[in-house]
Amino acid sequence: MAATRIDCDIHPAVGGTRTTLLPYLDDHWKEQVVSRAIDGLDLTSYPPNMPLSGRADWRPAHGKPGCDLAMVQRGAFDQLGASHAICNVLYGAQAVYDPYMAAAFCKAINDWIAAEWLAQDSRLRASIVIPLQAPDLAIEEIERRAGDNRFVSILVLAQGESLLGRRHYWPVWQAAEKYKLPIAIHAGSQYRSAPSSVGWPSYRYEYYMAEAQAFQAQVLSLIYEGVFGKYPGLKVVLMESGVSWLPAFMWRANKTWRGVRVEVPWVEREPAAIIRDHIRVTMQPFDAPPDAAGVADVIEQIGSDKMFLFASDYPHWQFDGDDAIPPHLPAGLVSRMCADNPLETFPRLKLAA
């Protein structure tokens, strides 16, 4: 096992707004949380009792999967072999409609993860949770936490209020580039609109499959709105996006760009080339063919060994056994995605080492 194996996506769980975050809220929001009995803000993308949200052996006797630091340490480090891990907290702060409440809860989450997780284990890093509902407040939170190099990225959800390439988000991406913080777009929804492009599904299976459409839409938005031309140092990490949809998507993006590029003259290169330079993907879940030849074809068609990042997605149940490395990957790629690629993608990891 490589000495450096950076797990780019693990999920500490907030026990609850009252039980976990209350000490990190200001007096106004403490009173609001208590008087209004605000608790249980878990995103319905990841309901705690759903099997996907936690494998049986990764569930504590009491509480949510991922709520116990010691259990997460045993799972992510001892069992799955990570040398470092990036904490991505998925909680309802990202989906609250009230921008001031969202900002207060995001601040509390970031202060909680810093005090009770990062300070307890030097192997842990975290993403800054931001209230993207209000870009000005999101920038304030980025700047408030930017001085702490243990925060190595910025976490947003794949399905939000609008496409991420829209210009009102550009000041947020400017701050991200300034502080060398890649944007981690994680599967999940603020539920401002239907998960499907043509309406609401009947079953969660449909919703989960539709996640790939959201990632595709966000990538196209960032490219065609000109975000990467404006902020050439910006990196975007797709977390829990899957991988095998990329080859056909990149091919079609190139083909369409050649036909209608007159509409977006600022996009001066093929979209696939921009994707290879700016987009990274975590490797759980790895939705590739079950045979080595099929996996090799997907990797070759994507065309870059720099795009892949190791992730266990602990405690989400994406694989069985004790090895989060997907089968049939070339040894050289495994080495890159565990160390070189994360260090290149998250430059603040070096500063915090």
- Preceding amide of 315 cis, omega within 30: yes
Q: Which has more confidence, 213 or 110? A: 110
Query: What average pLDDT score do residues 15-33 get?
Result: 92
Residue 47 lies in a domain: no
Distance of alpha carbon 168 from its chain centroid, rounded? 21
351 pLDDT tier (thresholds 50, 70, 90): low
Beta bridge partners of 199: 196
Residue 222 has pLDDT above 70, yes or no: yes
Residue 240 lies in a domain: yes
Residue 328 has pLDDT above 70, yes or no: yes
Counting residues of the chain whose pLDDT is more than 90, the rounded percentage is: 64
Residue 128 has pLDDT above 80, yes or no: yes
Instruction: Specify the pLDDT at position 142.
Output: 97
Residue 77 lies in a domain: no
Residue 221 lies in a domain: yes
Give me the domain span that covers residue 155. 92-309+324-345
Q: Residues 280, 318: contact at Cβ < 8 Å?
A: no
Instruction: Specify the pLDDT at position 353.
Output: 43
Distance of alpha carbon 89 from its chain centroid, rounded? 9
Residue 252 lies in a domain: yes
What gap in Å lies between CA 132 and CA 270, rounded to an integer? 29
Q: Residues 93, 128: contact at Cβ < 8 Å?
A: no
pTM for this prediction = 0.93
What gap in Å lies between CA 141 and CA 252, rounded to an integer? 37
Residue 86 lies in a domain: no
Residue 168 lies in a domain: yes
Query: What average pLDDT score do residues 97-121 get?
Result: 96
Query: What average pLDDT score do residues 40-64 get?
Result: 81
Residue with tokens 């990225």: 153
Q: Which residues contact 295 (CB under 8 A, 6 or more apart)?
A: 288, 289, 326, 327, 328, 329
Q: How many domains does the chain have?
A: 1
Residue 333 lies in a domain: yes
- Report the Cα–Cα distance between both ends of the chain, in Å, rounded: 20
Pick from 109-113, 126-130, 179-183, 212-216: least confident: 212-216
Domain containing residue 187: CATH number: 3.20.20.140
287 pLDDT tier (thresholds 50, 70, 90): confident
Residue 87 has pLDDT above 70, yes or no: yes
